[in-house]
Structure 1
Amino acid sequence: MSKVYSIKTIQKIPISLDTAWDFFSSPDNLKKITPDNLGFEIISKHHGDKMYAGQIIEYTVRPVLGIPLYWMTEITQVDDKKFFIDEQRYGPYSLWHHQHHFKAIEGGVEMMDIVHYKLPLWFIGDIGNAILVKHQLKNIFDFRYKKVEELFGVMEH
Structure 2
Amino acid sequence: MKIYTLHEKQKLPISLETAWEFLSKPENLKTITPDYMGFIILSGADRPMYQGQIIQYIVTPVLGIKTKWVTEITHMVKNKYFVDEQRFGPYALWHHKHFIKEIDGGVEMEDIIDYKVPFGILGQLVHPILVKPKLEEIFNHRKKKLNEIFGVYK
1:29 alignment partner AA:
N
Percent identical across equivalent pairs?
55
Distance 2:128 2:69 in 1: 22
Distance 1:11 1:130 in 2: 23
Mapped contact 2:34–2:141 kept (Cα < 8 A): yes
1:96 alignment partner AA:
W
Distance 2:124 2:46 in 1: 36
Q: Where does 1:131-146 land on structure 2 (aligned, <5 Å)?
A: 131-146=129-144
Distance 2:146 2:83 in 1: 19
Gaps of 5+ in 1: none
Q: List structure 1 segments (4+ residues) > 4 angstroms apart after TM superposition.
A: none
Distance 1:151 1:124 in 2: 39
Give the number of equivalent residue pairs: 154
Q: Where does 1:49-128 land on structure 2 (aligned, <5 Å)?
A: 49-128=47-126
Distance 2:124 2:97 in 1: 22
- TM-score normalised to structure 2 length: 0.97
Q: What secondary structure does 2:132 align onto?
A: helix
2:40 is aligned to 41
1:19 alignment partner AA:
T
Superposition deviation, residue 29 in structure 1? 0.3
Q: What secondary structure does 2:31 align onto?
A: helix
Superposition deviation, residue 65 in structure 1? 1.7
Q: What is the root-mean-square deviation of aligned Cα atoms in Å?
A: 0.8
Is residue 24 of structure 1 aligned with residue 26 of structure 2? no
Distance 2:63 2:121 in 1: 22
Mapped contact 2:25–2:45 kept (Cα < 8 A): no
Mapped contact 2:60–2:67 kept (Cα < 8 A): yes
Q: What secondary structure does 1:27 align onto?
A: coil
Superposition deviation, residue 48 in structure 1? 3.2
1:5 is aligned to 4
Distance 1:66 1:97 in 2: 24
